[in-house]
Amino acid sequence: MALIKPEIYSSLVREKVSGKVKILQLAKELENIDEFREVGETINFPVWKYIGDAETLASKGTITPVELQQEDSQAVVTHVAKGVTVYDRENLTALGDQIEEGADQLATSIARKLDTDLITEVNDNVVMLSPTAGATAITEDELFDALGLFGDMNDTELFQGIVVNSKLMKSFYGMPSFVSTTSTMSAQGNGIPSNGLFGYFRGIPVYVADHGTYDSTASECITYILQVGALGYKRKRDIFIEEQRVAGQKKTDIFADMLYAVKLLDPSKLVVARKTVA
């Protein structure tokens, strides 16, 4: 007799993953595709090229239209997997629900891997770096300097979010524009974490995520500021659950896996703030 119903368990793990990812929720999910089938295979992420600024039109002149063009940005398919073992005896006698706990831990494992792969993609391709004086602190002015790298593309609605390490929470509590009730930039509820959302800085959502936001080698925090469309990902197959009964040991192994690819679609829509920028 099956210990779980894979299709229902898949939905349970998938729902839990969506509540645990931090970086992934700032990435754009592009259409699912069928073109790739194997781990390590290279796929293309199409990126629209800018048509250029408008030109002056002379009296009785003619507008010359230009074709919309895309350029391919490549990414490698990743296959991630994790499994848990549930023993019959322990499932019947242990405190708590091992099936539910297994789903929770599988979700955490996959969510952290997704976020780690996105962070790796960002760190390998970042082109705009903004320095901070402290390794584990950040100031209002340093955040404004980082946002300034986007130039006039600074409208609040253009931003997907700011991701910070929990070590920087203390810095935000000391920012008047973040916590002051009289500041026009402060939002109600700022500084009270909920589902990873820490508040809003200049109207931009601020998320706290420790996975991938701390460089242990340099002992410093890394802050990511992302605009809409900076990151993208594609799923070949969503979370898939299989179980394997080992009757001789009175146990059931539950496996979860996922096929996907991630890509920094537009480096001009990402700024990284940290002490080490060289």
- List the chain pLDDT tens, one digit each, 278 residues: 567 777 788 888 878 887 777 888 888 887 655 555 555 677 777 666 677 778 888 888 888 888 877 666 778 888 889 998 888 877 766 555 778 888 888 888 888 888 889 999 998 888 899 999 999 999 999 999 999 999 999 999 999 999 999 999 999 999 998 988 777 777 888 888 887 889 999 999 999 988 889 999 999 999 999 999 899 888 877 788 888 988 899 888 889 988 888 989 888 999 999 998 86
The pLDDT of residue 182 is 77
Question: What confidence score (pLDDT) does residue 137 get?
Answer: 97
pLDDT of residue 191: 87
In the chain, the amino acid numbered 188 is: Q
Q: What are 207's strand-pairing partners?
A: 163, 197
pLDDT at position 40 is 63
What is the structure's pLDDT at 129?
Answer: 94
Helix ranges (H only) for the chain are: 6-20, 88-93, 98-125, 140-148, 169-173, 176-179
- Give the model's pLDDT for residue 216: 92
Distance, in Å, from the CA atom of 31 to the CA atom of 278, rounded to the nearest integer, reads 36
Single pTM value for the model: 0.79
Q: In the prediction, which pLDDT does 157 show?
A: 94
Strands of 78-87's sheet, edge to edge?
Answer: 28-29, 231-246, 251-264, 78-87
| Residue 90: closest CA among 275, 250, 276, 258 | 250
- Exposure b/e, 37-67, CB count within 10 A at least 16 = b: eeeeeebbbeeeeeeeeeeeeeeeeeeeeee
Count the alpha carbons within 13 Å of 191 in the hemisphere toward its beta carbon.
14
For residue 258, what pLDDT is reported? 87
